[in-house]
Structure 1
Amino acid sequence: MFAAHLARLDDVEVWAYDLAAGHVDAINASGLRLSGESELISYPQATNDPSQIPACEYGIVATKSMHTRPAIEAVAHAFVDGAVCSVQNGVGNEEIIAEHLPRVMRGTTFPAGHILEPGHVQQDTGGKTWIGPFEPKPASMGEVQTLAEKLTESGMETLAMEDSRGAQWTKLIFNAATNPIGALTGLPHGVSCDQPRLRKLISGLVAEGVAIAEALNITLDGDPEELIDHAREVAYHHKASMLQDVLAKRPTEVAALNGGLVQFGEETGIPTPLNQAIWALMDGLEHSWTLKH
């Protein structure tokens, strides 16, 4: 979605790196189409060969969290003199990027989508993106502001912040409390929220995350409970990405979401029994796919 929007700008050269050869070939042949929340076709240069990517001023990492390391290892050469922003789910992605590059941004985004067919992405939800310097190896605020301005100009509203941890943790808590519930039950977001016992569990998961954020002196950007209720209203039948992964029997991001909260809970002394249980259940579900019947 980021590449599709940015490629509409006349003064921005966009390269998209993806391992799916069919998707890459379709983009190069006919352009990248977005439908749903956004309706557009643009023409980024796509490749599954990282050696083709030239030196870039900015990078946006939007892979699943389990793919962060191999992705950034493959393309790091292009960003030696650039700044790279993660807009991924969970925690721990910026740390991996910072192992390879000197200037990193912490980002959070709410637009979500899925591939309908090679070269065609369905944008399921809209929303804002928040970006800011990653504290241990920060990009400059000038770089943050320039990237935010270009993204906003392209149609993806993006806010430049000196401290974007609050936005990141608000979404982290939202995702960790809702995505695995849908994945374990097979229910869309709104339907999950309408089941009283599930809604109580969701609130319990939220409470653990909020307690950790408070212990880390992170001021949340919003109330995760209000965000969950709002999502119920505007995306009642939305199947979260983790549910889509489970239906396709793909590895999920539970380790970066609930696992990340468990790790920070251990570091801050905040108990996380519900997040530990959800993490264990999701691990068990994923392991079940490896069994031979």
Structure 2
Amino acid sequence: MLGCGAIGSLYAAHLSRAPGIEVWAVDPWPEHMAAIRESGLRVTGLADFVAPVHAITDAADLPLCDLGIVATKALHTAAAVAAAVHSLKDAGVVSVQNGVGNEEIIAEHVPRVMRGTIVTAGAVTAPGVVRYDAPGDSWIGPFEPSPARPDEIELLADLLNQGGLTTHAVADARGPQWTKVVFNAATSPLSALTGLTVGQVCTDPGLRTEVDRLIDEALTVCATAGITLTRDPRASVEEAIREAYAHKPSMLQDVLARRATEIGVLNGGIAAEGRRTGVATPAHDAMVALVNGLERSWPGG
């Protein structure tokens, strides 16, 4: 497990519940890793258990792995995978990160890659503790230019299911991936810019107009690119209002902590695909400009 933030921690904890599996997690946060080593990885919220996970801060200490999961922020993908390439050189490696474009970076370092999408939400609330906020399925499938083997994809899906995270092995994972990207790109930047939760953004009349505008633009990009979504993004919006009204998306969490956001692989990723397919994306371009401008306004930005 490369990256042990909220999603990485939830994946590591649940994988450790599959029989006969040894889970290693690498993250530069020393207090988090130390707490996991000393007391295990504690899951709260929708679940309540403590998971045994090997927690380290230096990827050089990783053993040879059969499977790898990349859960870092997109900005850190290349450095994380390069540092762990000795342990992943014969592994099937999946990205469960936000946005699009991470698989291409992973494939520069390892030969067999999977697309992964997870809609589960949570937050690390203290070193060694992750809160499980919202349930959701996961989908994994081959990254077409450098695909993992079918048996690796099936194995990882089976292990995650055994660990308690409902996971689907699919032949084409672009649909699930872009379904999440479209929803996140329509809600996260507005949350980050206003400080409002997902539910507040989606129920404010003026902001909901912008959410719908971003969805419409992204759907045109997907249709032109031949990507079939697994559900209507507006259904995801309504579900978020019902089930995750108070959730602060990771982009808002980044803004509150004055960290660089993943706007470039969310709205920026949609805009890039729009340019590739000849679809104008002014609403997504505006979100990229506004969030980048906010980041530059911070001290040292």
What's the TM-score once normalised by structure 1's chain length?
A: 0.98
- The answer to whether the Cα contact below 8 Å between 2:69 and 2:95 also exists between their aligned partners in 1 is yes
Amino acid at match of 1:179: S
2: distance between equivalents of 1:104 and 1:76? 13
Could you tell me which runs of 5 or more consecutive residues in structure 1 were left unpaired when the two chains were aligned: none
1: distance between equivalents of 2:124 and 2:203? 28
Written as runs of structure 1 = structure 2, the 5 A alignment for 1:113-262 is 113-262=122-271
Deviation track 1:156-208 (CA, whole Å, cap 9, x = no partner) reads 11000000100000000000000001000111111111111110110110111
Name the stretch that deviates more: 152-161 or 4-13: 4-13
2: distance between equivalents of 1:82 and 1:139? 8
Amino acid at match of 1:266: R
Q: Give SS of 1:239's match.
A: coil
Aligned partner (choices 78, 82, 93) of residue 84 of structure 1:
93
Aligned to 2:28: 19
1:50 aligns with 2:59: yes
Amino acid at match of 2:41: L
Q: Percent identity?
A: 49
Which 4+ runs in 1 deviate beyond 6 A?
none
1: distance between equivalents of 2:242 and 2:121? 16
2: distance between equivalents of 1:155 and 1:291? 42
- The answer to whether the Cα contact below 8 Å between 2:187 and 2:198 also exists between their aligned partners in 1 is yes
Aligned partner (choices 253, 265, 268) of residue 277 of structure 2:
268
Aligned residues, how many? 292
What's the TM-score once normalised by structure 2's chain length?
A: 0.95
2: distance between equivalents of 1:14 and 1:266? 40
TM-fit CA distance, 1:245: 1.0
2: distance between equivalents of 1:6 and 1:12? 7
Could you tell me which runs of 5 or more consecutive residues in structure 2 were left unpaired when the two chains were aligned: 1-9
Name the Cα RMSD after superposition. 1.0
Aligned partner (choices 110, 118, 125) of residue 119 of structure 2:
110
TM-fit CA distance, 1:10: 3.0
TM-fit CA distance, 1:229: 1.0
